[in-house]
Chain A
Amino acid sequence: MYLFSTWGKKESSRLQMALRSLATRKTLTLGLNSRRLIQSRALQTFSLPDLPYDYGALEPAISGEIMQLHHQKHHQTYITNYNKALEQLHEAIQKGDSSTVVKLQSAIKFNGGGHINHSIFWQNLSPIREGGGEPPKGSLGWVIDTNFGSLEALIQKINAEGAALQGSGWVWLGLDKELKKLVIETTANQDPLVTKGPHLVPLLGIDVWEHAYYLQYKNVRPDYLKNIWKVINWKYASEVYEKESA
């Protein structure tokens, strides 16, 4: 959840401010509207975060065409549907409509998960001239060598897991905060890493849904997995690791 507040887009934080001032105004008027007050204060809408690089900047590892579709269509759709589901959830809670509340859970998990996962993914990638592909230094580099033997061994393992995943999903390098070690995990569909363990923090996720690579690599997912490491942003993964293992 911390992701949304740290990356809250300009619009998102402006919206929040606007809602807060509206709420303040309403308290001054009428206590009877307290229900609507709660409603307007609680409901946050999400918006598409900008990519920190151009669509074409990750070529030839990932084509500009894929990046644009992936960001502007797929991720945007998750956000749109997530917002819609949250709004419906909000109404259902207010009305005490439990059956709708429960019915909405899968849409929230799917679309909310899609938003969470892709927001991380854009940070996991970086153009080569900005350090994409450079191996991790510092404590993350060291703990990878300790846990897996070498960076190459880690990559091989992640790629094997990613290639073997049936259907749609993600392959992750995560930190188990409780056990204090690195783990490789896969999740199905848009399930976030935390669904595999409440103490798991994602450092690096690779999208293995077909939409992430099909236009360029077609059915050869292993080639996509081999090439994506040229643009993996280890700096971000290191930052998260250092922060979460402090």
Chain B
Amino acid sequence: MAAATSMVTSSSFTFPSQGLRLPTRSHPCMKPQRRFLRKYASNVITATYELKPPPYSLNALEPHMSRETLEYHWGKHHRTYVENLNKQVVGTDLEGLSLEDIITVTYNKGDILPAFNSAAQAWNHDFFWESMKPGGGGKPSGDLLDLIERDFGSFERFTEEFKSAAATQFGSGWAWLAYKANRLGVENAVNPWPSENDKKLVIVKSPNAVNPLVWDYFPLLTIDVWEHAFYLDFQNRRADYISMFMEKLVSWEAVNARLENAKAQAAEREMEEERMKNEEEWKPTDDDDDDDDDEGLEMYVDSDDDSEAE
């Protein structure tokens, strides 16, 4: 399977684009007539979305997750999401966007647009296969373990909390370990003492196709708790499936690599914001600005002092 150019390949290790700086309608990639567009955007090649196989053969996770499950889960469910995504995207403004950009746009702050389910589920399943490996399980080490112990108390408590999130997601959905780089979203306020300690690991669960990209977190690990993920092997015994996943399948290498990537991206994002803020400070006053001062940081003031100046 020629997966090298697949968007789905690169999506596992790329992270949310900064804010919502998506190509505008005048951008060449948004021209509706061009199909099967290839463009470069931050050294990622876009193309129509392909079904990428898991990084192991379909029977490699036996006896914990059967070949039959992989055949249906990857071969039917995941494949259908990708096929539907392509159908829903072709000839629309979404065409040519990265998978993650499609997810952000179609999530639409919760008022989801039709392609969201296909796009997010295509991404989620890729991420899921890569979260597992034959002979997986055990414990993480190094920075990852340190962070887990810092943010959850101990690896055991992390495991309990993760398993509980997975077990209590009502209906279909996912449980996640994610890296949250704390950013205050309020326009005119600044975190006065930003530090490494503000960035932390969190466990979250999400329904149906939703994933932490929509909350601007960096996903590190996921478990699929839709019934199709475990019903052939475990029937109703979801808790057993979750335990098996933790003990036998989790690929801590993948989680580690994602964490390093996440930390790097978070740092890069901060530097970018710092740089932009400094640019703002040094910019000469524009005519279209209102009469706010341009002395560096914009401060929020309680009352409008202009009224007193009369």
Q: Which residues of A contact B (CB under 8 A)?
A: 69, 73-74, 77, 106, 110, 166-169, 188-190, 209-211, 214-215, 218-219
Contacts and interface: CB of A to CB of B under 8 A. Distances in A.
B74 to A, nearest CB: 11
Nearest to B76: A219
24 contacts: A69-B235, A73-B235, A73-B236, A77-B236, A166-B209, A167-B171, A167-B173, A167-B208, A167-B209, A169-B171, A188-B171, A189-B171, A190-B170, A209-B227, A210-B172, A210-B227, A214-B228, A214-B232, A215-B231, A218-B72, A218-B76, A219-B76, A219-B80, A219-B228
Contacts of A77: 236
A38 B208 CA distance: 42
A111 to B, nearest CB: 9
B247 to A, nearest CB: 23
Interface string B222-262: 00001110011001100000000000000000000000000
Contacts of B296: none
A106 B171 CA distance: 12
Contacts of B173: 167
A167 to B, nearest CB: 4
B236 A214 contact: no
A233 B209 CA distance: 34
Counting chain A CB atoms within 10 Å of each CB, the highest count among B72, B80, B227, B228 belongs to: B227
Interface in B192-232: 207-209, 226-228, 231-232
A130 to B, nearest CB: 27
B46 interface: no
B171 A168 contact: yes
A192 B78 CA distance: 30
Interface in B170-185: 170-173
Contacts of A168: 171-172, 227
B227 to A, nearest CB: 4
A132 to B, nearest CB: 25
A74 B236 contact: yes
B181 to A, nearest CB: 29
Given A209-B227, A211-B236, A219 B207 contact: no
Nearest to B116: A166
Q: Nearest 4 A-B pairs (CB), nearest first?
A: A210-B227, A167-B172, A189-B171, A167-B208
Contacts of A167: 171-173, 207-209, 226
A110 B173 CA distance: 15
A110 B5 CA distance: 43
Nearest to B73: A219
A166 B72 contact: no
A166 B208 contact: yes
A210 B232 CA distance: 11
A110 B170 contact: yes
B77 interface: yes
Contact of A210 (B117, B208, B209, B226): B226
A214 B230 CA distance: 10
Nearest to B72: A218
Contacts of B208: 166-167
A214 B117 CA distance: 20
B171 A211 contact: no
Given A167-B226, A168-B227, A218-B76, A69 B170 contact: no
Contacts of A73: 235-236
Contacts of A214: 227-228, 231-232
B117 A166 contact: yes
B227 A211 contact: yes
Nearest to A110: B170
Nearest to B173: A167
A211 B170 CA distance: 14
Contacts of B207: 167
Nearest to A168: B171
A188 B227 CA distance: 15
Given A77-B236, A167-B207, A210 B231 contact: yes
Nearest to A220: B76
Contacts of B226: 167, 210
A117 to B, nearest CB: 12
Nearest to A214: B231
A39 B162 CA distance: 36
A190 B80 CA distance: 25
Given A77-B236, A209-B171, A219-B228, 17 more contacts: A69-B236, A110-B170, A166-B208, A167-B207, A168-B227, A169-B171, A190-B170, A210-B227, A210-B228, A210-B231, A211-B231, A214-B232, A215-B231, A215-B232, A215-B235, A218-B76, A219-B80
